Structure 1
Amino acid sequence: MFDLDELLAMDLDLVHVCTPVQTHLPIARSAIEAGVATLVEKPVTENREELEELQSLADRHDVPVSVVHQHLFDPAVRKARRRIQDGSLGEIRGVNLLYLGLTRPDEANRGTWVFDLPGGEFEEGLPHPIYLTLGTGGYPRDESGIQTLTTLVGDYGGKFSYDNAQVQYATESGALCSVTMSSRGQPERLLHIQGEEGSLLIDLVTQSTVPVTRNYTGSPVNKARKNIDGSMGLVKGLFENVKLVAENSYSDDWESAKRLRPHYYQIDAMVEAVRRGTEPPIPLEEAWWTMTVMQAIRDASTEQPVETMPVD
């Protein structure tokens, strides 16, 4: 164990808060009031009110604060975001994410503290698909436009209110974004980004990307070409991933490690932002929208729950 006051009395540049979510705000508050830059694991706080207090503290003390949204720094997602930002996909018209096979609500992978959440362990993992959708498709046009649906499939003795969730919203530019999240079953993570000039289908498990840059409809030849181009995209992704793993295996330098591991990549970017005095890689605005979507899911699970036949 450590004494937080003793820790903060040292000459620190950055604190990384990796504790149960119920403790995030008090620990972060102490760090911010001590003038120490703070990086908080997801979910950033228990609710939006706590997050707004965190933002107020950061503004008042002029201390950089950010949240860990590490899967935005996965190799395939980094490349996709660069293509979005450089305009090579054209105007983004839609983002659809399937995030299936999440942990059941009643399994305590991260500790029994997750059982205090309405969705248990399942809910603890929801920030990942939510921020992936926000980070690639953009933020909702407004809070009232967020549509949510939840179901409760498992029988947990009344301890949890949902174990599946679906969210959709429109961005300011008119892009339609949706994310489907389910517990049980085999893990599947598929991200489809549709632009006017091209689309990307990303397998987040294998970190492979299949680009769509032409119209494949209209003839059997075009349809066959889609299969060929798709296969080439998968093979290219395989070789790129093998190269990353090989570089990391034969070299213990930080640069190789961070290219492969998204946590390392984001921490490195946060450290660099603190050193240079620039904005953190993940703004608290993104954390706010993540918490807003999370709250919409919680509200849907208690106000209009959709219960199905319980499954053991």
Structure 2
Amino acid sequence: MRKLKVGIVGCGLIAKARHIPAYKRMKKSVELSAVCDLNEKLAMETAKEFRIPNAYPNVLEMLSKEDLDIVDICVPPQVHASVAVEAIEKGCHVIMEKPMALKTSDCDQMIEVARKHKVKLCVIHNNLFHPPFLKAKKLVADGAIGGFVGMRIFLSTPRWDMIDLKDHWYHKLPGGVIGETGPHMAYMSLAFLKNVRNVDIYAKNFLKHPWAPFDEFRIELEGENGISSVALSYTRNCWAANVDIFGTEAGLHLDLESMLLIRHRLKELSYMSIARSSLSAISQMIGGLASNAFKVITDRQKIGTDVVIERFADSILNDTQPPVTGEEGRETVRVMEMVVERYREKYGDKVE
């Protein structure tokens, strides 16, 4: 089996922490050939650190000198479309970080060009491929919780990671800080909601940073089959990523940091029923922790980005559908456009 040659655009944190290690673990099917970054020194340092053969100061030079199968885009979303089109026109398959773009028109351009050149396009919606989320999707599809009626998402990003930083790049995104984290809540909601057409948003400012008009957000997404209620918090000093999925017969609680899923079904409010429900939750938690520990110790734990990249490579080798299509990436961008538009309607000049 031939190896796919990969070039990475952008040598920032996400490339070095997630993407490059993922490819390095795929030695049988992938060859990491080159990296590029406008900061040529960073590109060269990254290539040296990870033993990648070549480093370039820009994507055009990399594309002209390398015979690549895959271009992996790890640069800000403002330039995703231009970089992707350049790579696609060279015959490369393209995978990129979320969001696919900042405008649906840019998504449409990428989809059209990829179709014209008969290459595959993929967006890394990493949370969809964490083990608890994959299991939850199957349980819902199998009717294990009855009919789906709604969901709740809570994402907490520590203050020091974004909101406390006056010069962070999120300020350049539509809607500011929600433009960075918002796509996660959008694509997770879209995994279950159908045809989202109505959104609303509520914002508060607790930290009073002059460069951050708001730091706590509550967002509602209404689909044909249910509602997703979202809390995005930037005021705390801790990470959290929790998803609750509600069905007519049972519910699911997902902790995407601990990689745990707990199914709960409390039919009665008797002491015995509550005790059984609590014991069941404890049992599921202990079992999940033990399973995760075993996978980590034996180096079998694959999460999020690792899974998407591996499945994308498989889709190229086997000519199957990518794990996240361009059309799915576009739908996330469409929902984010609605959220930012509503944000600006309600809060006007305060919105970044």
Q: Distance in 1 between matches of 2:87 and 2:164?
A: 33
Question: With structure 1 as the length reference, what TM-score do the two structures score?
Answer: 0.84
2:278 corresponds to which of 227, 232, 246: 227
SS at 1:30 equivalent: helix
Q: Distance in 2 between matches of 1:288 and 1:107?
A: 29
SS at 1:125 equivalent: helix
The residue number in structure 2 matching 1:146 is 199
SS at 1:202 equivalent: strand
Q: Distance in 2 between matches of 1:191 and 1:260?
A: 19
Q: Distance in 2 between matches of 1:300 and 1:146?
A: 7
1:72/1:188 Cα in 2 relative to 1: closer, same or farther (>3 Å)? same
User: Deviations 1:153-204 (Å, cap 9, x if unpaired)?
Assistant: 44333x44533322223333x2222211121113332211122343211112
The residue number in structure 2 matching 1:252 is none
Q: CA deviation at 1:119?
A: 4.3
The residue number in structure 2 matching 1:267 is 309
Q: Distance in 2 between matches of 1:53 and 1:227?
A: 51
Q: Distance in 2 between matches of 1:177 and 1:228?
A: 28
* 1:58 equivalent in alignment to 2:111: no
Contact 2:260 2:285 in 1 (8 A): yes
1:162/1:288 Cα in 2 relative to 1: closer, same or farther (>3 Å)? farther
The residue number in structure 2 matching 1:192 is 244
10-19 or 53-62: bigger deviation: 53-62
Q: CA deviation at 1:27?
A: 0.7
* 1:305 equivalent in alignment to 2:340: no
Q: Distance in 2 between matches of 1:80 and 1:12?
A: 36
The residue number in structure 2 matching 1:238 is 289
AA in 2 matched with 1:285:
E
The residue number in structure 1 matching 2:32 is none
Contact 1:194 1:200 in 2 (8 A): yes
How high is the sequence identity, in percent, across the aligned residues? Answer: 25
Contact 2:196 2:335 in 1 (8 A): no
Q: Which runs of 5+ in 2 are unaligned?
A: 1-39, 41-55
The residue number in structure 2 matching 1:251 is none
Contact 1:105 1:120 in 2 (8 A): no
The residue number in structure 1 matching 2:219 is 167
The residue number in structure 2 matching 1:80 is 136
Contact 2:88 2:114 in 1 (8 A): yes
Q: Distance in 1 between matches of 2:269 and 2:209?
A: 50
Question: With structure 2 as the length reference, what TM-score do the two structures score?
Answer: 0.75
Q: Distance in 2 between matches of 1:59 and 1:168?
A: 34
User: Deviations 1:267-287 (Å, cap 9, x if unpaired)?
Assistant: 000001111111110122322
190-199 or 201-210: bigger deviation: 190-199
The residue number in structure 2 matching 1:105 is 163
AA in 1 matched with 2:233:
S
1:18 corresponds to which of 69, 74, 77: 74
Q: Distance in 2 between matches of 1:17 and 1:25?
A: 10
* 1:28 equivalent in alignment to 2:81: no
Q: CA deviation at 1:289?
A: 2.5
CA RMSD of aligned residues (A): 2.5
Contact 1:168 1:179 in 2 (8 A): yes
1:208/1:88 Cα in 2 relative to 1: closer, same or farther (>3 Å)? same
Higher RCO (CA-CA < 8 Å; seq separation 6+)? 1
Q: Distance in 1 between matches of 2:316 and 2:140?
A: 26
1:307/1:237 Cα in 2 relative to 1: closer, same or farther (>3 Å)? farther
